Chains A and B, each alone.
Chain A
């Protein structure tokens, strides 16, 4: 029954072809590759468009000139120091959240689970706000936020453990841990000095506003390390989805694989959260979209999920920044769009159960 939830009826059925290169054989779904390419092209176009937008309009030619280093000083500053880091941050955070969502949904075999529902974001936020309000060095922020996320996820995991992990219990315990951690976070914000408090509150709204090249470097490093590991683990995830019994009987070191999946999933969302603050519903929504378009989760679909996440988060940030009379943090935009989708999803899952 639980498995029926993950492989919903709207999921695309894969059409696989086997390609042999020398002694190695790959199963390739050509249309997934095509879709990934298409999404990448769209991402590139959207980024270029985003570079031209803003209170100071730049034509595309000026943007290209600035990128190649031959523009005016003004254009150079606007493009390279202000707009490009923000766009790159969105493009890197989107995949991280989406991939982490895909991992968690697969791991607990429940389409309604995402890192923000089960306390990963709240854990990262708790530690990050502690770090900000006690004025430790911001350079280590991603690292401690990662630690907070892992600890929160382990607490949720341990508290919902009763011989095995049941999806519903995990969700309820996650909601509880979430509430406690957010309360503790607000407690620290209340107690902090006003400057630290406003920095913490700004961080908590979830925005890529004022991202720096430093942030971009952190994000790129994390994605470059964890993304490929995630793709490599997808095969094991599919075996786990067939059930614990099946996974054990094919000789898989179940708990070790599960732990590494949790670490990768936590790591992806925690680093993203530590830079941008909690941006909700991306991790939940994007894997669903990807499965609908490209079929059941596997290595290539996982990569596609990432590209889709980048596209959506950049789009959401552009909507928040340019389409409305005031600039909204991207977290508000994703929640405003993502929450109704989640409710629709919940309604459908309920109706089918």
Chain B
């Protein structure tokens, strides 16, 4: 008895070691990808130049200026947005116990986009600090609408209902968006580049405005990871363990909207990162959300930056927006998930 408990503990320690080692490995990979993101692009840059631009910046060097003004903001935004989207997706999946939950499928992304465009159209707002609030509001309203429609009826919010409601709310919002943009050329001019869902050409000031929200959201989510674990056992179990499920759910939803809204405000709508990354991560971590969220924090930016680099390389000399790359890679994920019997018959 004692021996077996001891063995289990040892096995647990082995597991802990493996998981920590893999996480460290992922972190190293992230470092490599981040460096590659500084180097690769329409003009190649040597590692020495890239490092110099960071530690002893010489403004007269063309290469270093490119790194400082273009590649560095882009890489930082990729790091922040990738982590935010992946963590938000994982938390949503845990909380709703729904393998298809993802900020873009739940309509948060298009809601936030619609909020921003409305703000620009009605209020003639141009400063990101002003329109980030509209991104939050739009994302929250869209998520509530989708969830409300999908959870009608005794079955609750099943994957199919959620996905359908999300897709339709998104297409409704995007049609209104198109109408708004056609009505007003000036709004189109302000938001055109932002709507494409890309890391390129973003202002670092926007990122700095969104950064506190991102950090708050990520930290809050990591602190709540134990609660998400309990929620993922189901409503009854969580309640019988003494949890105020309503309060925790509200808090997690708020954090998801914070993360997704901030990412949309910075980079525009980028889909499928929040869907795919948690599923990839779970192969290593299993269902424990403390590990899932920690891994998402590293693997999310890893994948988003890789997708961004792929987008720079495949269509040289022009670029493919990262949102397009993530959709092409992420959509097969959705299909594979849908083919699993357990999901489709929920």
Contacts between chains A and B (CB distance < 8 A), count: 140
Which has the most chain B C-beta neighbours within 10 Å: A183, A280, A353? A183
Complex Cα distance, B178 from A324, in Å, reads 14
Let me know if A184 and B328 touch, CB within 8 A: yes
B19 within 8 A of A: no
- A350–B174 Cα distance when bound, in Å, is 24
Cβ contact within 8 Å between B334 and A171 = no
Establish whether residues A339 and B154, one from each chain, have CB atoms under 8 Å apart when the complex forms.
no
Chain B residues within an 8 Å CB radius of A280: 171, 175
Residue B152 at the chain A interface, CB threshold 8 Å: yes
Chain B residue nearest in CB terms to A280: B171
Q: Which residue of chain B is the closest to A185 with respect to CB atoms?
A: B324
Q: How far is the CA of A351 from the CA of B155 in the complex (A)?
A: 9
Partner of A180, one of B150, B327, B338: B327
List B144-192 residues whose CB lies under 8 Å from chain A. Answer: 145, 149-155, 158-161, 163-165, 167-169, 171-172, 174-176, 178-179, 182-183
Partner-contacting stretch, out of B46-54, B233-241, B285-293, B313-321: B313-321
Asked whether any CB of chain A lies closer than 8 Å to the CB of B332, the reply is yes
A214 smallest CB distance to B (angstroms): 26
The answer to whether A351 and B152 have CB atoms under 8 Å apart is: yes
A191 to nearest B CB, angstroms? 5
Whether A168 and B330, one on each chain, are in contact in the complex, defined by CB atoms closer than 8 angstroms, is: no
Residues of A close to B158: CB separation below 8 A: 168
B167: nearest chain-A partner, CB-CB: A175
- Majority-rule SS of A interface residues: helix
Chain A residues in 8 Å Cβ range of B155:
350, 353
A182 to B271, CA, bound (A): 12
- Mask for B306-346, Cβ within 8 A of A = 1, else 0? 00000000010011110111011011111101110101110
In angstroms, Cα B175 to Cα A175, docked, is 18
Residue of A nearest to B184 (CB): A326
Q: Does A26 contact B (CB under 8 A)?
A: no
Instruction: Judge whether B339 and A173 touch: CB under 8 Å.
Output: yes
**Smallest distance from the beta carbon of A9 to chain B beta carbons, Å?**
15
Tell whether A346 pairs with B149 under 8 Å between CB atoms, given A159-B339, A183-B328, A183-B331. Answer: yes
Name the CB-closest residue of A to B175: A335
Residues A298-324 near B (CB distance < 8 A): 324
Q: Is A169 an interface residue (CB 8 A)?
A: yes
What is the CB-to-nearest-CB distance from B306 to chain A, in angstroms, rounded to a whole number? 16
Which of the residues A117, A169, A191 comes within 8 Å of B338, measured between beta carbons?
A169
A350/B334 in contact, CB under 8 A: no
Contacts of A329 in B (CB 8 A): 178, 182
- CB neighbours (8 Å) of A340 from chain B are 172
Main secondary structure of the interface of B (DSSP, over half): helix
> Would A169 and B339 count as touching, CB distance under 8 A?
yes
Give the total of A residues in contact with B, Cβ under 8 Å: 45
Contact, CB under 8 Å: B152 / A162: no
Measured between beta carbons, the chain B residues less than 8 angstroms from A332 are 175, 178-179, 182
Q: Is A179 touching B175 in the complex (CB atoms < 8 A)?
A: no
Give the shortest distance, in Å, between A326 (CB) and chain B (any CB).
Answer: 6
B334–A190 contact, CB under 8 A?
no
**Residue A5 at the chain B interface, CB threshold 8 Å:** no
Contact with B along A147-170 (1 / 0, CB 8 A): 000000000000110100010110
Q: Specify which of A162, A176, A350 is in contact with B150 (CB 8 Å cutoff).
A: A350
State whether the Cβ of A328 lies closer than 8 Å to any Cβ in chain B. yes
| CB <8 Å contact, B324 and A160 | no
A343 at the interface (CB under 8 A from B): yes
A162, A325, A346: the one within 8 Å of B165 (CB): A346
Q: Which of A183, A326, A331 contacts B324 (CB 8 A)?
A: A183
User: Contact string, B24-61, partner A, CB cutoff 8 A, digits 1/0?
Assistant: 00000000000000000000000000000000000000
Pick from A160, A171, A183: contact of B163, CB under 8 Å? A171
Tell me whether A186 is interfacial, beta carbon within 8 Å: yes
Q: How far is the CA of A62 from the CA of B226 in the complex (A)?
A: 76
Residues of A within 8 A of B174 (CB): 335
User: Residue A56 at the B interface, CB < 8 A?
Assistant: no
Q: Is B272 an interface residue (CB 8 A)?
A: yes
The answer to whether A336 and B338 touch across the interface, beta carbons within 8 angstroms, is: no
- Is there a chain B Cβ closer than 8 Å to A241's Cβ? no
Asked whether A325 lies within 8 Å of B339 as measured between CB atoms, the reply is no
Q: Is the CB of A190 within 8 A of B175?
A: no
Q: Which residues of B contact A175 (CB under 8 A)?
A: 163-164, 167, 334
Are A350 and B335 in contact (CB-based, < 8 A)? no
13 contacts between A and B (CB under 8 A): A160-B338, A166-B345, A175-B167, A176-B331, A180-B328, A180-B332, A191-B320, A324-B183, A328-B182, A332-B178, A350-B155, A351-B153, A353-B153
Which 8 residue pairs are nearest across A and B when measured between Cβ atoms? A339-B172, A335-B175, A172-B338, A183-B327, A180-B331, A176-B334, A176-B335, A169-B344
11 more contacts with CB within 8 A, not counting A169-B338, A177-B335, are: A168-B160, A172-B343, A186-B324, A187-B324, A324-B183, A332-B175, A340-B172, A346-B161, A346-B168, A350-B153, A351-B152
